[in-house]
Amino acid sequence: MNNLIQPNSIQSADGLAQNPVLPAGMGGLTVLSLFDGMSCGQLALQKAGIKVKQYYAAEIDKYAIQVTMANFPGTIQLGDVTKVFAKDLPKIDLLIGGSPCQGFSFAGKMLNFKDPRSKLFFEFVRLKNECKPKWFFLENVQMPYEHELVISKYMGIEPIVINSRLLTAQNRVRNYWTNINEQPYGLFGDLKPNIPMPKDKKVLLHHITEPFASDKYLLSEKAIAKILRRNWSIPKIEPDKTGAILPKNNSGQLSVDSGTTLIRCVAMRGREACLSPKRTEYGKQIRKDYEAGKIKEQRKNIQQLEPRNDGKTNTLTSVQKDNLLQVGDKVRRLTELECERLQSVPDNYTNHVSSTQRYKMLGNGWTVDVIAYIFGFMKSELAKSAEW
């Protein structure tokens, strides 16, 4: 992979620049990106070969803005999304955004629309109604169906669901609401994007890992013990075995890769922990106590490690204990470069800020190849118009 990125251009795997952003007045789309982050939207548009005339970005994270401006200095930064209004903007052709998802995520507290971050979804709705763009695109996590229905009602269309594993080495399921290539279906003419699943590129973790990562990424036994919360549950590094481990309170997922086997930590909480059919010895005893009426509810987390043999990672998050890599008899974090590749972001795209901020924004970002695949379905209509 090419490690250099020229401003306003994207480097493909073979090192060839693709479709630079065009200056205003030279044709192309006018785009408004809400919660723009590190501007994965611009990466996706370029990878899809779609011309951009002006790109407006609503973002408040100074580190994400720094990365965006280093790679796309022509970006027009608008700041706080709540202070962005259509009357101050030109005609918007494409409105995109991935509103903060922590309230909806199954990995979070599931506050949903009560979470102030998830309420920002309604800013997307407001600007969609104000700007009346030709196309819109909204990304979010998997969530309870009743909340998905609420978003679908506001968007006027059902989402498509794509797992990033089809195009990358990352298992990342996301919902995408868009009117790109929309078509009616069913008896009542409901709308849904006519976008088939992308072809599986069969990219595996070992295809994108760095062979000689620095020792700074290695985890000490103490660090592993801290992740798993109990010293006695340190995993034994053994390429052909996994073994059951019972960490006390680890809210993330742990992946360990021996080259053939991935191990992930599966969390079970509350009453579900008692009733789950897969059980460690401790969990079995808890279930017996529950069925015997000795306890009304088990509130402690019960977790165990189980093998994952698909050659993929877990979903990237801003918490780096969620994905660990085994190399020989050592365990290390994924490098920033590996996380960029898992999100199909060009090598070193984020290297303008600290490692902590790089990991954070990559975990919060989009899988660029998936978005580019969806954006590609605009091209047939764009080809019919000289305006774009």
Find the CATH number of the domain harbouring 97. 3.40.50.150
Residues 93 and 77 in one domain: yes
Inter-CA distances, 204 with 75, 125, 169, 201, 310, Å: 34, 37, 5, 9, 8
Give the integer Cα–Cα distance in Å for 33 and 42. 9
Average pLDDT over residues 170-181: 95
Q: How far is CA 319 from the centre of its chain?
A: 13
Q: Is there a single domain that holds both residue 362 and residue 327?
A: no
Q: What is the mean pLDDT of the chain?
A: 76
Residues with Cβ within 8 Å of residue 373, at least 6 apart in sequence: 48, 162, 167, 198
Q: Which of 11-15, 90-94, 282-286, 297-301 has the highest mean pLDDT?
A: 90-94
**Are 52 and 88 found together in one domain?**
yes
Task: For residues 370-377, give the mean pLDDT.
Answer: 98
Do residues 115 and 196 share a domain? yes
**Residue pointed to by tokens 């009602």:** 153
Distance of alpha carbon 158 from alpha carbon 220, whole angstroms: 46
User: Does residue 199 sit in helix, strand or coil?
Assistant: coil
> Is residue 143 predicted with pLDDT exceeding 90?
no
Would residue 388 count as lying in a domain?
A: no
**Within this chain, do residues 88 and 122 fall inside the same structural domain, yes or no?**
yes
Residue 291 lies in a domain: yes
Q: Which two tokens stand for residue 181?
A: 């290539």
Q: With 70 as the cut, is the pLDDT of residue 372 above it? A: yes
What value does the mean pLDDT take over residues 180-187? 84
Do residues 72 and 42 make contact, with C-beta atoms less than 8 angstroms apart? yes
Q: Which residue shows structure tokens 């290695």?
A: 218
**d(C-alpha 388, C-alpha 386), whole Å:** 5
Dihedral sign from CA coordinates of 82, 85, 86, 89:
negative
Burial class of residue 329 (count of CB atoms within 10 Å of its CB; 0-12, 13-18, 19+) = exposed
- Which CA distances in Å does 367 have to 93, 126, 149, 255, 276? 22, 25, 24, 19, 32
At residue 367 the predicted structure's pLDDT band, cuts being 50, 70 and 90, is: very high
Which helix (DSSP H) or strand (DSSP E) does residue 61 occupy?
Answer: none
Q: In terms of domains, do 176 and 215 share one? A: no
Q: How many domains does the chain have?
A: 2
CB 25 within 8 A of CB 1: no
Range of the domain at 363: 10-203+344-382
Residues 171, 16, 53, CA angle at the centre, nearest 5°?
Answer: 85
